[in-house]
Amino acid sequence: MLLVLTRGRAGIYGAHARTRVLLVLLLAVFTGAALVFALVLVTVALAARLGTLEALGVMCGACLVAAGLVVLRIRSEALAHAAALRARSDQERRLMRAALLTAVPAMRRGELVALVGLAAILALVGRQRDDDEPRA
């Protein structure tokens, strides 16, 4: 009974997700079309006042400035992402060390489970150090 209810909910959520993705995609397409029409409108208006070449030059410059702003935003997001990854890695390392320190007293009593846990923790710490190394 529980499996049937779970499948029903999963089907509802899946259909909702597909519909949402389609609607967001349509929104992006129509927003992009509106942006193109707005750019054409501004270009035609500038061409009527300044001339065709000057209007196209102004629009080209405006698009290059907008592209530069997007590049700056991408770089700042990448730096923030890298900082968040470093912070998370440091936190995970501190947790591993704390787990290791709590396992030491149990090892002194000779518990096999503690020894296996310690080996797993050491393997994870070693793997994380390898992952943190910059790749060439």
Q: Model confidence at 136, in pLDDT bands (50, 70, 90)?
A: very low
Torsion sign, CA atoms 84, 87, 89, 91: negative
Average pLDDT over residues 79-103: 83
Choose the most confident range, by mean pLDDT, from 11-15, 88-92, 115-119: 88-92
Mean pLDDT, range 50-54, rounded to an integer:
92
Q: Are 110 and 125 in contact (CB under 8 A)?
A: no
Q: What is the pLDDT of residues 22-46, one digit of tens each?
A: 999 999 999 999 999 999 999 999 9
Across 94-117, average pLDDT: 70
pTM of the full structure:
0.53
> 13-31 burial string, b = 16+ CB within 10 Å, else e?
eeeeeeeeeeeeeeeeeee
Q: Which of 91-95, 98-102, 108-112, 123-127 has the highest mean pLDDT?
A: 91-95
What integer pLDDT is reported at residue 128 of this predicted model? 58
More confident residue, 120 or 21: 21
96/73 Cα distance (integer angstroms) = 35
Average pLDDT score over the chain: 81
